[in-house]
């Protein structure tokens, strides 16, 4: 992992935010690109919307990158661009909760504060036969209190926390755990009883609401594609997407359904019906929320739009051209 042993606390902070809800292999290339684009807290604080969102494009959970910039701006205004050295102080920054604060404080500043993420919770739910729902903050705090004497007994809290996280990620896995390799096996109650798959207790999942919409593929006479700035869902604010048919200020000509795209978000499922169409003979003036673009990939695109355009390109409808962007 490129952030392991990194001398820069800023880089560790970036990696920990990226790793929230995201797998390590996905994060690796983003981590390098993001640090190249914004090598310091000052650079991040000064970042404009489009390059910031473009650097995060496809990583998801976009509130994370907005909070990163907000926290960087706060640090520049109040702390001379320096990260706090304690978990309690770190938690005062936007986007940093108990887990991330503990990770940064222990790894970078040697503070003895336990990390409790999903991997750590799984290890000790099995070891201690805990039936708590660790998606809830009070239960994670309770486990952290139980772990406190153990982390205080080590001289290197950061190594302790990373070891516990790796134990869950690589050995005490959700399915088919490698119990024969686990150093905690002699004291693991779930392993002794053969009930590893019963722990931790999964949280109750609510049925996700369904959203359906039609998006349209429209090109002008020079082959430029019409895209629209996303409006409504704050999560995707600042990103560009294929226009939704029901929001266009004109009626497309000769619409024809040419595909379907489905995507699951954390709080809803979305089905987009893709329609190819022609421009009407008389086009109205388009506002700033629309853009004709020769190469859509130069803009920060929603994941759905990026995947739809990539699929069309694979099918022989290339979207990238060398024309200008208006």
**181 lies in the same domain as 62:** yes
**278 lies in the same domain as 228:** yes
End-to-end CA distance of the chain, in Å? 40
CA geometry: angle 247, 248, 253, nearest 5 deg: 130
Q: What's the mean pLDDT in 148-172?
A: 95
Task: Please tell me the predicted confidence (pLDDT) of residue 322.
Answer: 37
**152 lies in the same domain as 214:** no
Within its chain, how far is the Cα of 70 from the centroid?
16
User: Is the pLDDT at 324 greater than 70, yes or no?
Assistant: no
280-315 burial string, b = 16+ CB within 10 Å, else e? eeeeeebeeebbbbbebeebbbbbbbbebbeebeee
Label residue 208 by pLDDT band (50, 70, 90): confident
Check the CA dihedral 124-114-265-171 and report its sign.
Answer: negative
User: Is the pLDDT at 130 greater than 60, yes or no?
Assistant: yes
CB neighbour list of residue 319: distance below 8 Å, 6 or more residues apart: 225, 295, 296, 297, 309, 312, 313
CATH code of the domain covering residue 41? 1.10.340.30
Label residue 6 by pLDDT band (50, 70, 90): low
Task: Please tell me the predicted confidence (pLDDT) of residue 202.
Answer: 83
Q: Has residue 51 been placed in a domain?
A: yes
Task: Please tell me the predicted confidence (pLDDT) of residue 317.
Answer: 55
φ, ψ at 211 (rounded to 5°): -125, 135
- Exposure of 15 by Cβ count < 10 A (0-12 exposed, 13-18 middle, 19+ buried)? buried
Task: Please tell me the predicted confidence (pLDDT) of residue 7.
Answer: 64
**268 lies in the same domain as 215:** yes
**Dist. CA 227–CA 241, nearest whole Å:** 5
Kindly write down the DSSP assignment for every residue of 16-37, as one continuous string: HHHTTTS-HHHHHHHHHHHHHH
Label residue 60 by pLDDT band (50, 70, 90): confident
CATH code of the domain covering residue 224? 3.90.79.10
Among residues 171, 198, 225, the one where a domain terminates is 198
Range of the domain at 239: 210-314
**21 lies in the same domain as 148:** yes
CB neighbour list of residue 200: distance below 8 Å, 6 or more residues apart: 121, 122, 125, 126, 130, 131, 132, 133, 134
The residue with tokens 């309690």 is 88
Q: What's the mean pLDDT in 234-253?
A: 89
Q: Has residue 320 been placed in a domain?
A: no
The residues assigned a catalytic role are: 16
**Dist. CA 263–CA 304, nearest whole Å:** 7
User: Is the pLDDT at 199 greater than 50, yes or no?
Assistant: yes
Q: Has residue 219 been placed in a domain?
A: yes
User: Is the pLDDT at 122 greater than 70, yes or no?
Assistant: yes
**180 lies in the same domain as 215:** no
Average pLDDT along the chain: 91
Beta strands in 108-265 (DSSP E): 210-217, 225-229, 240-241, 253-264
- Exposure of 35 by Cβ count < 10 A (0-12 exposed, 13-18 middle, 19+ buried)? buried
- Residue 223: half-sphere exposure toward Cβ, Cα within 13 Å: 10
Kindly write down the DSSP assignment for every residue of 220-277, as one continuous string: -TT-PEEEEE--S-GGGTT-EEPPBGGG-SSPPEEEEEEEEEEEE-SS-EEEEEEEEE
**302 lies in the same domain as 218:** yes
Q: What's the mean pLDDT in 235-258?
A: 90
**87 lies in the same domain as 214:** no
Question: CA–CA distance from 253 to each of 50, 113, 241, 278, 324 (Å)?
Answer: 31, 62, 20, 5, 25
């Amino acid at each position: 992992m490129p952030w392991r042993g990194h001398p820069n606390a800023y880089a560790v902070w970036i990696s920990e935010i990226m790793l929230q809800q995201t797998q390590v292999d996905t994060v690796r290339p983003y981590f390098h690109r993001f640090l190249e684009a914004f090598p310091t807290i000052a650079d991040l604080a000064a970042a404009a919307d489009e390059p910031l969102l473009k650097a995060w494009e496809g990583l998801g959970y976009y509130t994370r990158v907005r909070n990163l910039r907000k926290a960087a701006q706060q640090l520049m205004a109040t702390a001379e661009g320096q990260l706090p050295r304690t978990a309690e102080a770190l938690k005062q920054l936007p986007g940093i909760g108990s887990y991330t604060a503990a990770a940064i404080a222990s790894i970078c500043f040697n503070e003895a504060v336990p990390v409790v993420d999903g991997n750590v919770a799984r290890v000790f739910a099995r070891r201690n036969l805990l039936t708590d729902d660790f998606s809830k903050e009070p239960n994670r705090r309770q486990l952290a209190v139980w772990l406190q004497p153990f982390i205080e007994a080590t001289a290197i809290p950061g190594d302790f926390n990373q070891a516990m996280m790796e134990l869950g990620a690589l050995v005490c896995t959700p399915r088919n755990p490698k119990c024969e390799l686990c150093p905690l096996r002699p004291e693991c109650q779930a392993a002794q009883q053969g009930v590893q798959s019963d722990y931790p207790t999964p949280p109750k999942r609510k049925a996700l609401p369904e959203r359906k919409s039609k998006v349209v593929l429209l090109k002008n006479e020079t082959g430029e594609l019409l895209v629209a700035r996303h409006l409504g869902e704050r999560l995707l604010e600042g990103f560009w997407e294929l226009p939704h048919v029901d929001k266009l200020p004109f009626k497309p000509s000769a619409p024809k359904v040419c595909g379907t795209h489905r995507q699951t978000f954390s709080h809803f499922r979305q089905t987009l019906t893709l329609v190819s169409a022609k421009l009407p003979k008389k086009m109205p003036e388009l506002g700033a929320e629309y853009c004709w673009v020769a190469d859509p990939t130069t803009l920060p695109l929603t994941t759905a739009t990026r995947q739809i355009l990539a699929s069309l390109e694979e099918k022989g409808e290339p979207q990238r051209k060398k024309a200008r962007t208006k």
